[in-house]
């Protein structure tokens, strides 16, 4: 990473620190580009201000994601980090895990003694591009509307189903979700 690249990352983090006190929620999507080394700082800043932080992980090293309110791996990402959900939540002090399981739906682990499960909502899958991003965004919207965990799970699942019925990177509009 060049000095210029580090300066740009720092400028974004500085802006994040300025706007964070006004945020209802933060979604940290780790695409493995530039911000991976800053994940712990980004999460720590949100924790200090008690702003819920949701993480979409890419790295098999979840150390940087410690303390997140929710982590949303897919099955491959979960297996890459060892697959033991209870141990991962405890080890990294993560409150909840929203596991996206493709055609098998989604499962929420964490607060309840039993995981909450919903079946996939895509009747005709055309393209799965963006389904994971949509599910975490929809979860955040549901939480901002004070929905309970099961309602958020249903909403995230339905929104992901909508984008799976569209070609390419697609938007899910609120009125498309039942």
Contact between 160 and 100 (Cβ < 8 Å): yes
- Residues classed as catalytic: 133
156 Cβ contact list (under 8 Å, min separation 6): 98, 106, 134, 135, 136, 138, 139, 142
DSSP code string of 62-114: GGGGTT-SEE--BHHHHHHTTS-HHHHHHHTT-SEEEEE-GGG-EEEESSSSS
Sheet of 53-56, strand order = 26-29, 53-56, 70-71, 96-100, 106-109, 116-118
Quote the CA–CA distance of 155 and 135 in Å, as a whole number. Answer: 8
Token pair, residue 52, equals 């819920």
């Amino acid at each position: 990473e060049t000095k210029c690249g580090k300066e740009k990352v720092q400028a974004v983090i500085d802006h994040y620190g300025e706007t964070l006190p006004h945020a209802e929620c933060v979604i940290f999507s780790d695409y493995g580009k530039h911000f991976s080394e800053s994940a712990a700082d980004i999460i720590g800043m949100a924790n200090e201000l008690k702003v819920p932080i949701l993480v979409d992980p890419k790295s098999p090293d979840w150390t940087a994601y410690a303390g997140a309110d929710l982590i949303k791996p897919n099955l491959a990402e979960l297996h890459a980090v060892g697959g033991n959900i209870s141990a991962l939540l405890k080890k990294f002090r993560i409150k909840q895990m929203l596991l996206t399981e493709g055609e098998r739906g989604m499962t929420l682990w964490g607060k309840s003694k039993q995981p909450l499960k919903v079946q996939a909502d895509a009747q005709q899958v055309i393209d799965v591009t963006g389904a994971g991003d949509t599910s975490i965004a929809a979860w955040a919207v549901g939480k901002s509307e004070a929905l309970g965990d099961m309602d958020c799970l249903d909403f995230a699942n339905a929104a992901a189903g909508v984008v799976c019925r569209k070609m390419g990177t697609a938007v899910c509009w609120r009125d498309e979700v039942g």
